[in-house]
Structure 1
Amino acid sequence: MTFEEYKNITKFSHKKIQLPFGKFFICEDFVVAELNHEIHVDWLIIQKIANMIIEQYGTAKKIGFISNKVNSYSIDPFVWVTFSKEYDFIEAAAIVWYTDAGFMSATLEKMFLKNSVKLCESIEEAVHWVLNSKNIRN
């Protein structure tokens, strides 16, 4: 289910940002990322995402990040090691998976993230989890 199909989307004021590699929904306390089908996420794309998020929230606010894997794509898991050294604005992350391949990819990504990460089976579960993380909503 995409974020736009989420039945409780109206509870969250949000702005949709379309980038060449995916859609991003900027909510008050979290971001939902829906990356395009069959792209490969490398450090350059991660930097573009991070810069867009910083532009929206600044550098002081701690936010939640939801990767809503509605499409199949690949990611270099080592980018998360560098990301963790460069950026410090994500307090909690959730990865929503819909297929077995998505679950395996999410499990691999989770191993490289230093933040609190939860693998979720629905967008509802992911939103609930990031909003209940201890430092979200500064």
Structure 2
Amino acid sequence: MKFENSIYFKQLKHHKVVFPFATYYLCDRFLIAEHNEEVHFDWDKIQQTSEFLIEFYGPNCKIGHIANRVNNYSIDPNLWRKFNKEYGFIIASAIAVYDDFAYRNATLEKQFSSNSIKRCTSLEEAIFWMQNLDEFK
């Protein structure tokens, strides 16, 4: 389910940002990313969004990341390591998946990240997990 079609769209204070390759919903302590269908989320796109997020949240930000996989897209899992080394402002990620293929991809990505990654079967589960992270308490 897309964030805009969920009950959380009206409940969570957020700022919507549309990139040519994705839509991001920036909440107080975390973001929800919905990448466009068939996009390859490469290093250039990561840099573009990271620079925007640092400007939005501040240079010392520590935020959570929810990937709401409502569309099929690709990312090189090795980029998690490069991102953490270069930027490192994501403290934890949740990946909301809606089919077995996406779940297997999320499992692969989990192996490449030094941060906690929770695989979720719904956006609701991802938001609940993110809101209850010890790092935010």
- Report the TM-score range of the alignment, normalised by the length of the smaller protein: over 0.9
In the alignment, structure 2 segments of 5+ residues that lack a partner are none
Structure 2 counterparts to residues 1-138 of structure 1, below 5 A: 1-136=1-136
**Sequence identity of aligned pairs in percent?**
45
SS of 2:81's equivalent? Answer: helix
TM-score normalised by L of structure 1: 0.94
Q: What's the CA shift for 1:103? A: 0.8
Distance in 2 (CA, whole Å) between partners of 1:111 and 1:45 is 22
Q: What's the CA shift for 1:32? A: 0.3
Greater RCO structure (CA 8 Å; 6+ sep): 1
SS of 1:61's equivalent? Answer: coil
Letter in 2 for 1:73: Y
Letter in 2 for 1:29: R
Aligned CA RMSD, in angstroms, stands at 1.1
Number of equivalent positions: 137
CA contact (8 A) 2:54 2:61 kept: no
TM-score normalised by L of structure 2: 0.95
SS of 2:108's equivalent? Answer: helix
